[in-house]
Amino acid sequence: MSRGDRVAVSGNFSHSMRENYQQGVSEYYTKVGSTYRNPHFPGIRRCIFQWLNKWWAMESASDPNRRDRIVMFDMACVNKTRSGEATIAFQEWWQLGRRLFGSRIEPLLDQQPSGRLPQQKPQIIPVPIGPDLGLPKILAADPFTSAAYRDRVHLSCSALSFKDIAEGALPPPSTDELTHETSPEPYPVIDIIICSFALHLVENPSELFSLLWELSSKARWLVILAPHKKPEIKDGWGWNKWNVNAWESCRMVDNVPEILNDRVHCRVYRSLNI
């Protein structure tokens, strides 16, 4: 049994996720959806902080077309981050950044490897965020654990699956609605989609292409968090692989450094259609 299978969390039937999935991913998460907690949260949090710091420093803060708030989509369909860990990390980054505005604490943009292992990992300090930026708009979707998300995060969560999203559905822009009615206002361009411990579950390449192509017309950035480097995203699917360190696009086959924290890999892609 691999390290990735040795999972002990509230709500799980077995310590092995492979055993839990034997009856089907949908069946498993339907049963444990309201109690699931992801043991990888510390790594998820550090990856999200590190990515957001870099993104803010390199693009968002200097964007002349910057809107008055950030739009983030926590696409948590059929995954192992059922109770809103990506949203919680994003909210914490924003709230701490707002508190740090005007302080002398310097943000940590990158973690460079050193020759000696530290006794304790350095904190990743968010970038200061000025008062001119409004509260972020957070969208969320999960077909099995909307209740757990709402209970923990106190935000709305649509019960949309990957298939629904690939067919054009998105959570309503109003956080107070969970209907599929058309909003009278234009749907906002999503700044960042965070898909945590989920995308590798779309095993059919055709279905994965449909999902990613649809998302590339609605969002600028796609951030994939996983304990491995799956799934493989190919050229022509609507996204450029992004070298976060150099802050430039690269080929899909290029072996560029990834954000990696506590065995959580963070890969970033830039939309070709927005």
Give dist(CA 171, CA 75) in Å, integer: 10
What are the start-end ranges of the E strands in the chain? 71-75, 137-141, 190-196, 219-226, 239-243, 248-250, 259-261, 264-271
Q: State whether residue 100 is helix, strand or coil.
A: helix
Based on the domain organization, do 18 and 69 belong to the same domain? no
Q: Say which residue, 19 or 145, is predicted with more confidence.
A: 145
Based on the domain organization, do 51 and 186 belong to the same domain? yes
Q: Say which residue, 149 or 179, is predicted with more confidence.
A: 149
Dihedral, 264, 228, 196, 166 alpha carbons, nearest 10: 160
Whether residue 248 lies inside any domain: the answer is: yes
Q: Are the C-beta atoms of 40 and 8 separated by less than 8 Å?
A: no
Phi, psi torsion values for 147, nearest 5 degrees? -65, -45
Alpha helices in 115-246 (DSSP H): 146-153, 162-166, 205-216
State yes or no: pLDDT of 175 exceeds 60: no
Based on the domain organization, do 44 and 178 belong to the same domain? yes
Token pair belonging to 98: 């707002």
Q: pTM (2 decimals)? A: 0.77
Give dist(CA 206, CA 142) in Å, integer: 21
- pLDDT, the chain, mean: 78
Q: Say which residue, 242 or 188, is predicted with more confidence.
A: 242
pLDDT for res 21 = 44
Q: For residue range 50-101, list pLDDT tens digits in order.
A: 999 999 999 876 665 566 789 999 997 444 445 788 999 999 999 999 988 8
Q: For residue range 109-149, list pLDDT tens digits in order.
A: 555 444 454 456 778 888 888 888 888 999 999 887 777 78
Whether residue 140 lies inside any domain: the answer is: yes
Q: Say which residue, 33 or 224, is predicted with more confidence.
A: 224
Q: Are the C-beta atoms of 175 and 119 separated by less than 8 Å?
A: no
Based on the domain organization, do 150 and 208 belong to the same domain? yes
Domain region containing 7 = 1-32
